[in-house]
């Protein structure tokens, strides 16, 4: 039993070993993001008109970053480490919905970035929709 406890603790300290799930990310996107960013990720959701800063077209994140998906910037924008005041409060407005198991994502250079499982799923969905 002690070995199991040590193994579980080691896995948790390692940041989890859960793969991103774009399908789960799509569901999160529809529930929490599409109202502003639009069903087509075009930045033209029904609430876009009332925001001070217009929502980003999420399909062009890589294109607008020299062809590389800006993984760290996107994670930090979603999980609140890079707040965006046009949302009325730091992102995400739905904070508790994006909490979960800690996971590690890797940048294109292999740098690890810690975030939650729901955020990694949402990021996987956004990456899958790049033009």
pLDDT at residue number 88? 56
Bigger pLDDT: 63 vs 51? 63
**Mean pLDDT to the nearest integer, 17-39:** 88
Output the CA–CA distances (angstroms, integers) from residue 19 to 12, 26, 90, 101, 108, in the order listed. Answer: 15, 15, 27, 11, 16
Options 3.40.50, 1.25.40, 1.10.760, 1.10.8; CATH for 17-128 is 1.10.760
Return the H-helix or E-strand segment holding 112. strand 112-116
pLDDT at residue number 94? 60
pLDDT at residue number 100? 77
Domain boundaries, the chain: 17-128
pLDDT tens, position by position, 57-69: 999 999 999 999 9
pLDDT at 71 over 70: yes
pTM score, whole prediction: 0.78
CB 71 within 8 A of CB 123: yes
């Amino acid at each position: 039993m002690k070995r199991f406890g040590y193994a579980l603790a080691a896995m948790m300290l390692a940041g989890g070993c859960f793969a991103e799930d774009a399908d789960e990310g799509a569901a999160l996107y529809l529930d929490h993001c599409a109202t502003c960013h639009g069903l087509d990720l075009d930045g033209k959701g029904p609430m876009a008109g009332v925001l001070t800063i217009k929502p980003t077209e999420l399909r062009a994140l890589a294109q607008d970053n020299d062809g590389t998906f800006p993984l760290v910037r996107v994670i930090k924008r979603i999980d609140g480490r890079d707040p965006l005041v046009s949302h009325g409060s730091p992102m995400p407005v739905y904070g508790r919905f994006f909490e979960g198991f800690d996971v590690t994502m890797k940048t294109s250079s292999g740098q690890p970035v810690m975030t939650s499982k729901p955020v990694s799923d949402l990021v996987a969905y956004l990456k899958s929709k790049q033009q």
